[in-house]
Structure 1
Amino acid sequence: MFNKVLVANRGEIALRVMRACRDLGVRTVAIYSDADKNAGHVRFADEAYNVGPARAADSYLDHEAVIEAGRKAGADAVHPGYGFLAENAEFARKVEMSELTWVGPSADAMERLGEKTKARALMQEADVPVVPGTTEPVESADEVKQIAAEYGYPVAIKAEGGGGGRGLKVVRSEDEVESQLETAQREGKAYFDNASVYVEKYLEAPRHVEVQILADEHGNVRHLGERDCSLQRRHQKVIEEAPSPALDADLRERIGEAARRGVREADYTNAGTVEFLVEDGEFYFMEVNTRIQVEHTVTEEVTGIDVVKWQLRVAAGDELDFAQEDIEIDGHAIEYRINAENAADEFAPATGTLETYDPPGGIGVRIDDAVRQGDEIGGDYDSMIAKLIVAAGDRRECLARSERALSEFEIEGLSTIVPFHRLMLTDEAFRAGEHTTKYLDEELDRTRIDRAVEKWGAADASPAKDDGEGGDESGADAEVTEREFTVEVNGKRFEVNLEERGAPPVPDIDALGNGGTAAGRDGGPSRSRPEEAAGGDDGVVVVEGEGEQVTAEMQGTILSVDVGEGEEVAAGDVVCVLEAMKMENDVVTERGGTVTQVLIEEGDSVDMDDVLVVLE
């Protein structure tokens, strides 16, 4: 077994991996961006190293910075978690070529299965049913139109490296082809550094069922049963459960064995998930996720198998010590993603301080998180702050226990989707297990979500204010104050304790910039807010005149700028696309006019209320 593992991720999955490491007696190394210096995974790890600024492309996605952190720490292996670099075959190969061990499938297997067209061709060879469509990438709108003519509309354009709905666009008519193709390619490039896309027939109302796989280097392949992930919003999973309420014994057996055949054909090792679409009693291969999944937790609860621990053991060369017939599904488990989102506002990402954070407990209740009360939830990364996993003897008992657990979950200071989850436990279609992947987007009455948020949404808490009373103490009778400091030396994080007598208040380091001044923290240019319309100082964007200002409604990254100075726009026109918490958001004008200033460029990071475009 390894002595030290670097976890190339953040948040709850980083903490989940670190806990598995500790169970195995393995030391852990965290990496963190400037935005995450006080994050939970950093607090938990044995060591931590800074890998760059807040923008993921400059930190968590920086191959060389991550590998160098592993070298500095003297780590034996790298576990990527999910997201970020977890399905990046180029990064996996760099790790394989270094002195570090990659905890996951080989780079070759990732390439065979990570790119969807190659995976579809391989599955066909293994006699696994696939959705009708292309097994080669498409490059032009004409190609998409030809395929649609063969299979009929709607068709789905999918990014080769995609997942979680990113890079997936549904085309329902010929006049949508060009715009949807361009968007799918752009998302594929932005999220997965791969603009290639393929096309397949779009199934209108399927179930999303996936099979957890474990395979070792000794030729053993096991499946751990299936999960149902059909409750989705814009192709993003919200609630997952195991086993699926939609499968009978025969279909369950066929889909599990198909998953085993497929990964064996791919010469796959370590953990992975084979995803299928199920409709009218038939199943079709969709994709393989060559990593651990967010919802691996429900599989662990019904099988008693620690999937993450086995990832580490397989990477260390161990052989799976259980046969397929040894695996039994015991009871039922449901996972609720606790996202920082406002369900009543189209699930818009939310930011703020966890003024109250009091998760539930008791029998059958598991919380996977990396936060504590008082933490700041920013908009730099994914919106998920925790996972609530509930297990019981059967689905009916699991739903009842879920009601209790969700009612006990207290979060104040920002919006979360806890009220939405409580609503779903009153929903007849969900309780009956009859929902499909289209249920939330196309069938659920949206006013029910509004009422649920009004009924169960926690009011934002206000930070406590200093009453201004009290004073400094000094001299022999002053209290001794123990202070904790976090310092960073050559990119490595250290905790320092200092005892002081009659100490003055500690300044807010976060408010200070380079050299301890009140300048911008990262030394880069700051953007003016709407009320900051003049200045001209170095590094400050000047907003001239009193025109209509289009501002950012949330923190994020500019994916594209769709207007230029001098252009005429109408009310509702898109001026730019803003990515926040892995979701694309069109920024539109409220009225028409002429663009007089464009204050952003593709790739810029912006804060809430930053001025993006000015009209007159």
Structure 2
Amino acid sequence: MFRKVLVANRGEIAVRVMRACEELNVGTVAIYSEADAESGHVRYADEAYNVGPARAADSYLDHETVIEAARKADADAIHPGYGFLAENAEFASKVEAAEGITWIGPSSESMERLGEKTKARTVMDEAGVPIVPGTTDPVTDPDQVRAFGEEHGYPIAIKAEGGGGGRGMKVVTDESEVDDQFESARREGEAYFGNDSVYLERYLENPRHIEVQILADEHGNVRHLGERDCSLQRRHQKVIEEGPSPALTDDLREEIGEAARQGVKASDYVNAGTVEFLVEDGEFYFLEVNTRIQVEHCVTEEITGIDIVKWQLRIADGEELTFSQDDVEIEGHAIEFRINTENAANGFQPARGGRLETYDPPGGIGVRVDDALRQGDEIVTDYDSMIAKLIVHGGDRDECIARSLRALREYEIEGVTTIVPFHRLMLTDEAFVAGEHTTKYLDEELDPARLEEAQRQWGSEDAPAEDDEEVVEREFTVEVNGKRFEVSLEERGGFELPANLDSGGASRPDPAGGGSGSAGSDTPAVDGDGEHVTAEMQGTILSVEVGEGDEVEAGDVLVVLEAMKMENDIVASSGGTVTQVAVEEGESVDMGDSLVVLE
């Protein structure tokens, strides 16, 4: 077994992997950006190394810096978690080529073959797995989309090759949308995955999202661990997952599981992975393979008793699976709730920041919380909004729902708004309780007024700003060869110390990570006359669609803002003339920053 594993990730998944390592008596190494200097995964690890500023591209996504951190720590393996570099075949190949370092995951070759969607569709089709009608080669011209629409009809899904979770996917409802959506999908694919290649699928109108967990070793053994139902989504992002699915018959369940196992076996895949399907009207279709651990792997662990992350480590070390397919038994029911710092009553808008004034997670039989938090922590908003996961297990679905309600009532979080009220609402929602919801339910059927009522009844507000300015407190982190030491300083009645005070090389990074829009940043002056169109959330400017002097009408797209892994069109609320454009492509902005001025 490995001596020391570097976890190339952050937050709860980093801690989850480190816990598995600890139980196997393996040392752990964390990496962190400046924004994450005080984060929980850094506290948990045996060693920690700063890999750069808050911007993910300059830290968590920097291939050479991450590998160099592993060398400095003398780590003999790297586990990528999920997100960031987890499905980056180029990074995996670099780790594979690095002397003395093992990649914990499928090979870079497998990631190339199954991670790119058109290649995966071809593999699965050849293995006899049903696929949604679509292209097996990338499309390069909008005319190909129109030709597909003439043959198969609308709506059509245009999907980025490297996409997933709704990222890089655009839905075309009629021919008039083809050009704009085609370019948008390519742009989003390039922005997130460095790959602007897209393909087409017939867009199913009202499907269930079913995924099958797979483990495969290098000795030719492939096991599926049952299915998870991830149909409760908003804008293609999962919020609640459960297993087994309440919508499948036993025959269909067995058929899907076996199809996933055979498809993976035919691809010579090794390590953990997930095969995703869409199910509609009793038929199932292959969607994609996630060549990594999933956020919702905990559901499968609870109903099978199999530690998937430990098996990732063992398989990477060359061990053989010690259980047969017949040994895999599904016991009871499990539901996972993503605890996001979002306001469900306000379009699931993510929080701008906040401090956990109270953080008291639930406990008791059948209750598991995966997090990296402690009371008093500042919320880091530079990355994903998920701060924790609540996983509840019961003897059957009814008991699991009742236990989940109890656990959510116990979950005390003050200082930042979360979607806990939304989860409590769903557990009393007729469609969800009956297991009749589909992937469209939240976006198209749920009454928004119910979300507002749930937030009023069960929600907490963000913590107010501190009134006492007499006490100035600063914490400093000293890092020596990966080992971290904390130094605190409190001054009463004095001036506030600058955020990046030089203390003999032992300085604490700016908690904001130096992102644009924070105090002291070089944000452009906005002096144009007229209506200021502002950012609705923190994010990055993907494109600017207008220039000074342009005439626009109500509804015209002014700026495309990337936030929470999705493109957001910032549109004009009324017609006018652009008198100033205050941002440029690639710039980070905070909520409320002026983007464009209209007169």
TM-score for both structures, normalised by structure 1: 0.91
Aligned positions of 1:276-295 closer than 5 A: 276-295=277-296
Question: Contact 1:379–1:581 at 8 Å: present in 2 too?
Answer: no
Aligned positions of 1:242-321 closer than 5 A: 242-321=243-322
Residue 67, structure 1, aligned to residue 67, structure 2: yes
Deviation, 1:571, is 3.4
State the AA in 2 paired with 1:438: K
Deviation, 1:30, is 0.6
Match of 1:604 among 587, 590, 598: 587
Q: Secondary structure at the match of 1:161?
A: strand
- Match in the other structure for 2:18: 18
Aligned positions of 1:276-425 closer than 5 A: 276-351=277-352, 352-425=354-427
- Match in the other structure for 2:499: 511
Match of 1:573 among 556, 571, 578: 556
Q: Secondary structure at the match of 2:335?
A: strand
Deviation, 1:552, is 2.1
- Match in the other structure for 1:494: 484
Q: Secondary structure at the match of 2:223?
A: strand
Question: Contact 1:528–1:611 at 8 Å: present in 2 too?
Answer: no
State the AA in 2 paired with 1:42: V
Question: Contact 1:137–1:196 at 8 Å: present in 2 too?
Answer: yes
- Match in the other structure for 2:172: 171
Aligned positions of 1:480-559 closer than 5 A: 485-488=476-479, 492=482, 494-496=484-486, 511-512=499-500, 539=522, 541-559=524-542
Question: Contact 2:14–2:81 at 8 Å: present in 1 too?
Answer: yes
How far, CA to CA, are the matches of 2:374 and 2:512 in structure 1? 26
Question: Contact 1:354–1:413 at 8 Å: present in 2 too?
Answer: yes
Q: Secondary structure at the match of 1:466?
A: coil
Residue 85, structure 1, aligned to residue 68, structure 2: no
Question: Contact 2:516–2:588 at 8 Å: present in 1 too?
Answer: no
How far, CA to CA, are the matches of 1:170 and 1:296 in structure 2? 28
Deviations along 1:425-457, one digit per CA (max 9) or x if unpaired, are 111110011111111111111211111111111
- Match in the other structure for 1:563: 546
- TM-aligned CA distance change 1:539 to 1:349, over 3 Å: closer
Residue 191, structure 1, aligned to residue 174, structure 2: no
How far, CA to CA, are the matches of 1:241 and 1:507 in structure 2? 52
Q: Which runs of 5+ in 1 are unaligned?
A: 472-480, 530-536
How far, CA to CA, are the matches of 1:263 and 1:230 in structure 2? 23
Deviation, 1:132, is 0.8
State the AA in 1 paired with 2:289: V
Question: Contact 1:527–1:611 at 8 Å: present in 2 too?
Answer: no
- Match in the other structure for 2:53: 53
How far, CA to CA, are the matches of 2:579 and 2:540 in structure 1? 22
Q: How many residues align?
A: 595
How far, CA to CA, are the matches of 1:116 and 1:175 in structure 2? 26
How far, CA to CA, are the matches of 1:507 and 1:7 in structure 2? 39
State the AA in 1 paired with 2:368: R
State the AA in 1 paired with 2:309: V
Match of 1:441 among 422, 440, 443: 443
Question: Contact 2:540–2:589 at 8 Å: present in 1 too?
Answer: yes
Question: Contact 1:524–1:539 at 8 Å: present in 2 too?
Answer: no
Deviation, 1:538, is 11
Q: Secondary structure at the match of 2:463?
A: coil
Relative contact order higher in (CA < 8 Å, ≥ 6 apart): 2
Deviation, 1:303, is 0.3
Question: Contact 1:159–1:198 at 8 Å: present in 2 too?
Answer: yes
Deviation, 1:266, is 0.7
Deviation, 1:378, is 3.2
Q: Secondary structure at the match of 2:50?
A: strand
Deviations along 1:570-591, one digit per CA (max 9) or x if unpaired, are 3343221222222322223344
State the AA in 2 paired with 1:593: G
How far, CA to CA, are the matches of 2:339 and 2:423 in structure 1? 9
How far, CA to CA, are the matches of 1:338 and 1:606 in structure 2? 24
How far, CA to CA, are the matches of 1:180 and 1:217 in structure 2? 41
Deviation, 1:424, is 0.6
How far, CA to CA, are the matches of 1:574 and 1:580 in structure 2? 16
- TM-aligned CA distance change 1:293 to 1:594, over 3 Å: same
How far, CA to CA, are the matches of 2:537 and 2:66 in structure 1? 28
Question: Contact 2:299–2:334 at 8 Å: present in 1 too?
Answer: yes
Q: Secondary structure at the match of 2:60?
A: coil
Question: Contact 2:512–2:518 at 8 Å: present in 1 too?
Answer: no
How far, CA to CA, are the matches of 1:438 and 1:73 in structure 2? 46
- TM-aligned CA distance change 1:506 to 1:467, over 3 Å: closer
- Match in the other structure for 2:157: 156
Question: Contact 1:569–1:592 at 8 Å: present in 2 too?
Answer: yes
- TM-aligned CA distance change 1:51 to 1:506, over 3 Å: farther
Question: Contact 2:129–2:286 at 8 Å: present in 1 too?
Answer: yes
- Match in the other structure for 1:39: 39
- TM-aligned CA distance change 1:83 to 1:468, over 3 Å: closer
How far, CA to CA, are the matches of 2:203 and 2:515 in structure 1? 45
- Match in the other structure for 2:103: 102
Question: Contact 1:28–1:45 at 8 Å: present in 2 too?
Answer: yes
Residue 128, structure 1, aligned to residue 129, structure 2: yes
State the AA in 1 paired with 2:453: R
Deviations along 1:129-174, one digit per CA (max 9) or x if unpaired, are 1011110000111001111111111111111111001111111100
- Match in the other structure for 2:432: 430
- TM-aligned CA distance change 1:445 to 1:545, over 3 Å: closer
Deviation, 1:513, is 5.8
State the AA in 1 paired with 2:282: G
Q: Which runs of 5+ in 2 are unaligned?
A: none
How far, CA to CA, are the matches of 1:503 and 1:348 in structure 2? 36
How far, CA to CA, are the matches of 1:447 and 1:522 in structure 2? 34
Q: Secondary structure at the match of 2:240?
A: strand
- TM-aligned CA distance change 1:454 to 1:31, over 3 Å: same
RMSD between aligned alpha carbons?
A: 2.7
Deviation, 1:543, is 2.5
Residue 114, structure 1, aligned to residue 115, structure 2: yes
Question: Contact 2:470–2:494 at 8 Å: present in 1 too?
Answer: no
State the AA in 2 paired with 1:441: D
Deviates more, 1:605-614 or 1:11-20: 605-614
Deviation, 1:505, is 8.9
- TM-aligned CA distance change 1:360 to 1:507, over 3 Å: farther
Question: Contact 1:525–1:540 at 8 Å: present in 2 too?
Answer: no
How far, CA to CA, are the matches of 1:450 and 1:605 in structure 2? 30
How far, CA to CA, are the matches of 1:430 and 1:607 in structure 2? 35
Asked which structure has the greater CA Rg, the reply is 1
How far, CA to CA, are the matches of 2:319 and 2:368 in structure 1? 28
Deviation, 1:461, is 2.9
- Match in the other structure for 1:592: 575
How far, CA to CA, are the matches of 2:457 and 2:157 in structure 1? 37
State the AA in 1 paired with 2:540: T
State the AA in 1 paired with 2:477: T
How far, CA to CA, are the matches of 2:440 and 2:338 in structure 1? 18
State the AA in 2 paired with 1:397: E
Q: Secondary structure at the match of 1:377?
A: coil
Deviations along 1:60-93, one digit per CA (max 9) or x if unpaired, are 1111111111111100001000000000101000
